[in-house]
Structure 1
Amino acid sequence: MKNYQGMACQNIRNSIWKVFGVEKLTLLKSNAGASEIVRWKQSVEVADCFCSLFVQNESGAYWIDLIARNAFSTAAIPTLTHDHCAFTLAMCDIILNSRSRSVQCTQKHMKHRIEKFLNNYNSGGSSFGSAEAIMDEELEANEHRSRVNSLQTDYAPEPLSRSGSSMQYSKEKMDEAFGVYE
Structure 2
Amino acid sequence: MKNYRGAACQNVRNSIWKVFGVEKLPLLKSNADASEIVRWKQSVEVADCSCSLFVQNESSAYWIDLIARNAFSTVAVPTLTHGHCAFTLAMCDIILNPRSRSAQCTQKRMKRRVEKFLNDYNSGGPSFGSAEAIMDKELEANEHRSRVNSLQTDYAPEPLSRSGSSMQYSKEEMDEAFRVYE
TM-score w.r.t. length of structure 1: 0.80
Task: Provide closer, same or farther for how the CA distance between residues 120 and 67 of structure 1 changes in structure 2, counting only shifts above 3 A.
Answer: same
Provide TM-score, normalisation by structure 2: 0.80
Query: Corresponding residue for 1:159?
Result: 161
Aligned to 1:8: 8
Q: 1:59 deviation in Å?
A: 2.6
Structure 1 residue 114: Cα displacement: 0.5
Query: Tell me, which stretches of 5 or more residues in structure 1 are unaligned?
Result: 162-182
Q: CA deviation at 1:159?
A: 1.6
The farther-off stretch of 102-111 and 138-147 is 138-147
Matches within 5 A, 1:91-102: 91-102=91-102
Q: In structure 2, list runs of 5 or more residues that go unmatched.
A: 164-182
Distance in 2 between residues matched to 1:126 and 1:6, nearest whole Å: 24
In structure 1, the partner of 2:145 is 145
- Relative distance call for 1:13 and 1:158 in structure 2 (3 A) is closer
1:92–1:53 CA distance, 2 compared to 1 (3 A): same
Q: Which runs of 4+ in 1 moved over 4 A?
A: 155-158
Partner in structure 2 of residue 69 of structure 1 = 69
Distance 1:35 1:157 in 2: 14
**Over residues 114-155 of structure 1, what are the superposed CA-to-partner deviations in whole Å (9 max), with x where a residue is unaligned?**
01111122122533222111101110122223333268x9x9
Partner of 1:17: 17
Match of 1:176 in 2: none
Q: Distance in 1 between the 2:75 and 2:98 partners? A: 33
